[in-house]
Structure formats: C-alpha cells, structure tokens
Amino acid sequence: MTIDRFRALVPLLIAAFGLLPGCQNPRPVVPGSIDEKRLVRADEEPQQWMSLGRNFMQQHHSPLKKIDTANVATLGLAWEYNFLNSRGKVNRGLEASPIVVDGVMYTSGAWSVVMAVDAKTGAEIWRYDPNVDGRYARKACCDVVNRGVQVWQGKVYVGTLDGYLVCVDAATGKEIWRADTFTDRKAFYTITGAPQIAAGKVIIGNAGAEFGVRGYISAYDAETGKFSWRFYTVPGDPANGYEHPEMEMASKTWDPKSDWSAGGGGTVWGQMAYDPELNLLYVGTGNATPYPIWYRSPAGGDNLFLASILAIDPDTGRLKWHYQTTPGEMWDFTATMNIVLADMKINGQNRKVLMQAPKNGFFYILDRTNGELISAKPFVPVNWADSVDHKTGRPVVNMANAWYKDSGKYIFPGPPGGHSWPPMSFNPTTGLVYIPTIDMAFVYENEDNYKFRPGRDNMFARQTPTPLPPDYAHYGKGWPEPEYEVLKAWDPVKQKEVWRMPFPGTQNGGVLSTDGHLVFQGSSTGYLLVMNATTGQLLKKIYTGTGIVAPPITYELEGEQYVAVMAGYGGAVLFFPGEQDAVAKFRNEGRILAFKLGGGEVPLPPVQKRADTVSAPPAKALHPKQIEKGMLLYRSYCSFCHGGFGSGHYSEVPDLSAMAPVTHEWFSDILLKGKLSYYGMSDFSDVLSPDDVEALHQFLISVQAKRYQQQQKK
C-alpha cells in the first residue's frame, strides 16, 4: 500500500511541477524533500505548505489568492479523511498544522499517530502508530493531542506523548530511529508539541508544569538521532551543581530555599521558530510549579527562565539573549504561544522583529537579533499589570489586583490567557496580525497547606472561571463583562486593534490568512469561518458538525487552491465542552477536511447518543463517611477529566454517574491494576489505596442511585 501508493502519485507530482522531458532543471520527486535552501525560498513555491507556519517566518500566511473575497462564497468540501480514533471510545482532539509538499500531506493526530495522505483526494498513503504507552494520558494536562510533525530531507519527525522523538521515512512511514527525550520517567512529563528543525538538528520540548517538572529542550542530529545538547529552562537545586552556565545565572533569581522538588516548571510545549540567517532558535517557556511564588520561591525573584522568550544558538545550545514576559510568574501566564518572525519598518527603520501574544495579555514586538523590546501593549483586557515599562521591559504589576495570597482576586486574563496555543497569523500585505483572543477573567485563590504532591497537580491556586457561580458573583462587580472568544485584527506597528469578530465557542481555532484578502478560522461550535482581512466582514460560514481548534492551512495542486484543517474538538477543553459546542450534538469523530471552490456539502458526523436513563447501581452497603471521603477524592483525582454528572455532561469522557454494570464490576481493577490503561484510563495505584478506591466507588454509587431513583419517579 505504501510504496505502491506513492508511485501512483508520481505522474501527478510530475505534472504539478512541470517536470516533463525537456523542462529545465528538473527536480527528482523524492517524498518529503524539504531542506533549508528550499524552505528559505518558500515564497517561490507558494503552492506548498512546508512548515507548521508555512515557512521559516512561521507567519501562518500564504501568498495564494485564487480563493478570494469575490468567489469564496462557492467554497465547499473537496474531500475528507476520517482519522478514526486509534484507541478507546473517547474521540480525542486534533490540533496539528499539516505540512503539504509535492502533493502529499503529512500530519499527526491523537496518541501521536502520523499519517501521509494524497493532498488532492485525501486517500491514505501510509499511517504510522508509535504505540504510545496509554498510562501517559494521565500525565497529560490537556488531552493526548499532538500539534504536528516536521518534514525534512525525506524524513518525518514527531514527538510522542510518552517522550520519544521518532523519525520515520517520508515515503513509507517506516520507523528509522527513535530517541528517549525524558530525563526522569517517574516525573509527569509528556510531549504534545511539534519538533523544530534548526541547523541540522531536531529540537523537542515537553509539557507537565501543572504537575511539577523541570522544563528543558533537547537537540538531536536530524540524520542519525544522536543526542547533541540539552538546555534547561529553570535551575535545579544549586547544591547539585549547574548543567550549563545559564543555570548559574538563572539560579540567582530564585530563592536558595526554593522548593526544588517541585521542578519549577518552565516547560516548552508550544511552537518554536528558527531564523537561518541569524542562526538563532527562538523558544517560548511555560508557567511555574507551583503557581504561587510564596510557595515556590518564598524570597521572591524573577525566577528565570519562566514565561520567557529565549534565543539559542542551535549549534551549541548556548543562550544568546532572553526576554522574560512575566517575571515571578504566578498566574499560568506561559510564553509558549506561537512566535512569528517578520521584517518590518518601525519608526522609519527596517527591523528584524519577533512577535508574540502570550497568555499575559500583552502583544510584544522584540528585535530578534538581540531581544530588545520595541513595544508591548495589551491586546485584551488586562488588570494584573498597568503597562509594560519600555525602559526596563518589565510589566508594571498592579499588586492590588494581582496578589491573591491573602484574598481571592478577579484577574484578566485567566489561565487560558489572552491568547493560548491556537496560532495567530501575520499578513505582510495588510500588515495585520490576526489573533484568536480569549477575553475572560478568573478568580484566583490561594490554596493553603502547600506540600509537593507526586502523582497529581501541584498548582496550589484555585481558579474559578467566568461566568462566575452565584457565591463568587461579588468578585466581578465593577469589571466589564467578558466577551470570551474574539478574533482580533491587530496592527503591530501602531499596537492597536483594527477590527474584531466575537464568535461563540469554548475554544476557537488557530488562524490562516492569505493574499486572497481572506482570514480563516475554525470554531469549537463546528464552523469554518472566512472573513475579509481588512474589514473583518464574515464572508462565508461552513458548518462541519465537528469542533475545530487547529489552524487551517492552504496549498495548490493542478491549478486549484485548497484550504484544509484538522477537525476534532479536544485539548484542555475536551473535558468541559459547552452546550453550544459541536460535540454536544455530534460524535467528535476527528477528520481532515479539505475545501475548494465549487466543492460540496460537508457530511455531518453521527448524532451524539447520550443515555437518558441510567441502570440500577449495584446493591452495596454505603457509609456516609466513606461517601464524603469519596467525594473529596473525586474532586482531587477524577473531576478534571470526567467532569460533572447528568444533563450538563457534554463531554465524550464517560459520565461516572451512569456506569454500566461491567464498569462497576471492574472498578477496582481499573483504578488499581490499570485494566483500561491502554485506552488512556491509567491506574492510580501510586496515589490511591484500596480503601480510597472503595470510598470513591461508594460515592459514585450514591450519585448513580439518586439519578436512578429520580428516573423511577418519572
């Protein structure tokens, strides 16, 4: 299937690139033949999409313009590729930006599965499953997603959820090599981010700061997989020495009595960037562990390199410059959002810039040659800081609004940020950045009795989102009502909003802009939206019935332009969708959707079947103290994934108040022996005792019994 399928594509590829007899300088059709020279000249091949953000600049913008404002009304489905859930009954999220080169689309899905498909028809060429250890689903804060692959010199690279960097053959999908990137297999590390190619190396980060890990990136030889270097983003215990000089410098910004057992955080799980001319790798770092600095580093300090942008020499792994967006980070204000490179005129000078809209709500423009702050302004409502001081580059923190040690604080933005991982786009023609913003506040409260807890979250800050429950309503008095999901067009030079388009959704998707004067974005409610790039006018709205959180891409084949997107609701929002989201109505069956002019209707997924009735729970003696204990255990270990009970449970993750008889029968084996660990339901034997499991089971039986009794009365 694999080799033969690719051979069948060769005539198409030859025609697409004019490689017929007599053509000058024919390039042999080699699967995945991307290299530095070709990617630098990406604008000479606008029909390709050769990197996560299309080119080295990572702008998520395309020069293609056959689909434009005049004809986009005829946009319809060209083909769909059904991802098919690779394991279990829960359909997971799809977050990747596909790569398209020479007629083949390469992308990744849940459980780090990689596939190559015909970009014209959607026919599968090959599929690679790295057989991820299912127990790592428990270690992932935000679903078993994967944000994409890199394709380089005939190879495809992916980071797997369970910590391996894997290289497969672009023609066949056969594994060539794999490298274990984790320094501690007991810690709660995972990988959901895409690798980055830089100077012949593959760089990969990781995630896990919510649980308590120490962030780092690792570099491997792209050809052989040989380990090259590792850069830690936060220091370890100084008593154990320093892995590289930057850690000695960073340690001076931490309390010597910091809780080093918590790891510190600073993980690199977002999209990196690389400038081959400057030979600089740009990396954004994540949030702290625990959140409150009074627990993490009691004497305070900036706590480098949390929530920072780093410029690293990819040949040596040494730091060239750094800029910290949120010194002393304690709000989950990661700086892991996508980094965009651009060359633009500012104040009459041509500048090589780096742009980022991190979670903290400020839009940053830095000189990417040296890290100098050019400007920073809020792009969403912000109350934790009044401004960013241009001279120092530091935020002017409003302690009355931001310091939640002694009392709860209503803070804009919250942990989802003013902008999360869905990529923003920069259009060099309009000069605008299109940001999928989140206008949302949270109440932050300190959690007492801090002690690092292996095997579970270690944030130690209670976070209550808007809309607030009645007993929290007083926190929001005097503050503006949040708008939630808003696509904003932002002028980076003037640092001001040009237009906005609010659209409902728990989390809407990343953004694509094109020279057809269009902006594309998907929504968690199941729409693909197309806007006028200058005015924000909604020009087209296609209902897919599948939540879209990934960014669209575009490419051209045989004279036709396509727009493609990974459709599949998931990530952190997998566990708590809203009634308005597509997953509340339809099965969350992940798929790739490709559109073209004159295309057809999008077939809707099967209707979501939810049990209106529950079976009778097992007859079992229940004890009030055990039920109360089980309720607390449910809140601590189960509620984040399984959520609430009954009519408000829209997630495909099972509602544990409606368990089938066989689930009750297996209950202890599931939690203590990992009976369903392959499917992502890991065992909890490291943190739960048999008595704990019994208490948890009694609580859930009591809830199911109440539902059953109410059902019988109807």
- CATH number for the domain spanning 515: value is 2.140.10.10
Which residues have C-beta within 8 Å of that of residue 177, sequence separation ≥ 6? 166, 167, 224, 225
Residue 235 resides in a domain:
no
Average pLDDT over residues 112-131: 98
Q: Tell me how far apart the alpha carbons of residues 505 and 579 are, in angstroms, rounded to a whole number.
A: 9
Instruction: Report the b/e string of 127-144 with b at 16+ CB within 10 A.
Output: bbebebbbebbbbbbbbb
594 phi, psi to nearest 5 deg: -120, 135
The pLDDT tens digits for 579-636 are 899 999 999 999 999 999 999 999 999 998 876 789 999 998 999 999 999 999 999 9
Residue 15 resides in a domain:
no
332 in active site? yes
Number of domains in the chain: 2
Q: Looking at the structure, tell me whether residues 587 and 692 fall in a common domain.
A: no
Q: Looking at the structure, tell me whether residues 465 and 544 fall in a common domain.
A: yes
pLDDT score recorded for residue 714: 76
Single out the catalytic residue among 118, 162, 259, 332.
Answer: 332
Q: Looking at the structure, tell me whether residues 463 and 316 fall in a common domain.
A: yes
How many residues can be counted in the chain?
714
Q: Looking at the structure, tell me whether residues 699 and 588 fall in a common domain.
A: no
The pLDDT tens digits for 7-55 are 344 444 434 433 433 334 445 578 999 999 999 999 999 999 999 999 9
627 phi, psi to nearest 5 deg: -60, -45
Cβ-contact 423, 460 below 8 angstroms: no
Q: Tell me how far apart the alpha carbons of residues 560 and 562 are, in angstroms, rounded to a whole number.
A: 6
Place of tokens 């000089």: 245
Q: Looking at the structure, tell me whether residues 592 and 667 fall in a common domain.
A: no
Is 0.85 topped by the overall pTM? yes
Reported in sequence order, the residue ranges of 294-334 that DSSP labels E, i.e. its strands, are 308-312, 319-324
Q: Looking at the structure, tell me whether residues 375 and 305 fall in a common domain.
A: yes
Tell me: cis bond preceding 467? Omega within 30 of 0 counts.
yes
Q: How far is CA 218 from CA 35, 58, 203, 226, 337, in A?
A: 21, 21, 6, 11, 19
Average pLDDT over residues 689-697: 97
Reference 182, options 143, 216, 221, 229; nearest CA is 216
Q: Tell me how far apart the alpha carbons of residues 382 and 375 are, in angstroms, rounded to a whole number.
A: 16
Q: Looking at the structure, tell me whether residues 580 and 636 fall in a common domain.
A: no
The pLDDT tens digits for 503-544 are 998 899 999 999 999 999 999 999 999 999 999 999 999 999
Residue 27 resides in a domain:
no
Of the CA atoms within 13 Å of residue 594, those in its CB half-sphere come to 22
The pLDDT tens digits for 610-621 are 767 899 999 989
- CATH number for the domain spanning 682: value is 1.10.760.10
The secondary element (H helix, E strand) that includes residue 296 is helix 293-296
- At residue 661, the 3 state secondary structure works out as helix
Q: Tell me how far apart the alpha carbons of residues 248 and 262 are, in angstroms, rounded to a whole number.
A: 19
Reference 196, options 116, 310, 110; nearest CA is 310
Q: Looking at the structure, tell me whether residues 579 and 636 fall in a common domain.
A: no
Residue 158 resides in a domain:
yes
What 3 state SS string does 596-644 have? EECCECCCCCCECCCCCCCCCCCCCCCCHHHHHHHHHHHHHHHHHHHCC
Residue 709 resides in a domain:
yes
Residue 87 resides in a domain:
yes
Q: Tell me how far apart the alpha carbons of residues 241 and 546 are, in angstroms, rounded to a whole number.
A: 50
Q: If you average pLDDT over every residue of the chain, what do you get?
A: 94
Of the two residues 3 and 542, the one the predictor is more confident about is 542
Q: Looking at the structure, tell me whether residues 82 and 174 fall in a common domain.
A: yes
The pLDDT tens digits for 302-312 are 999 999 999 99
The edge-to-edge listing of strands for the beta sheet with 362-367 is 340-346, 349-356, 362-367, 373-378
Q: Looking at the structure, tell me whether residues 339 and 467 fall in a common domain.
A: yes
Residue 42 resides in a domain:
no
Q: Tell me how far apart the alpha carbons of residues 172 and 175 are, in angstroms, rounded to a whole number.
A: 9
Q: Looking at the structure, tell me whether residues 590 and 633 fall in a common domain.
A: no
Reference 656, options 714, 696, 691, 687; nearest CA is 696
Q: Looking at the structure, tell me whether residues 291 and 414 fall in a common domain.
A: yes
DSSP class of residue 101? E
Tell me: cis bond preceding 413? Omega within 30 of 0 counts.
yes
Is residue 37 classed exposed, middle or buried when 0-12, 13-18 and 19+ CB atoms within 10 A define those classes?
exposed
Reference 431, options 61, 53, 69; nearest CA is 61
Residue 512 resides in a domain:
yes
Start-to-end C-alpha separation, the chain: 56
Per cent of the chain over pLDDT 70 is 96
Q: Which two tokens stand for residue 136?
A: 């790592």
| Domain of 656, in residue numbers | 624-713
pLDDT score recorded for residue 24: 40
640 phi, psi to nearest 5 deg: -60, -40
Residue 34: how many CB atoms within 10 A of its CB? 23
Of the two residues 648 and 426, the one the predictor is more confident about is 426
Average pLDDT over residues 60-78: 99
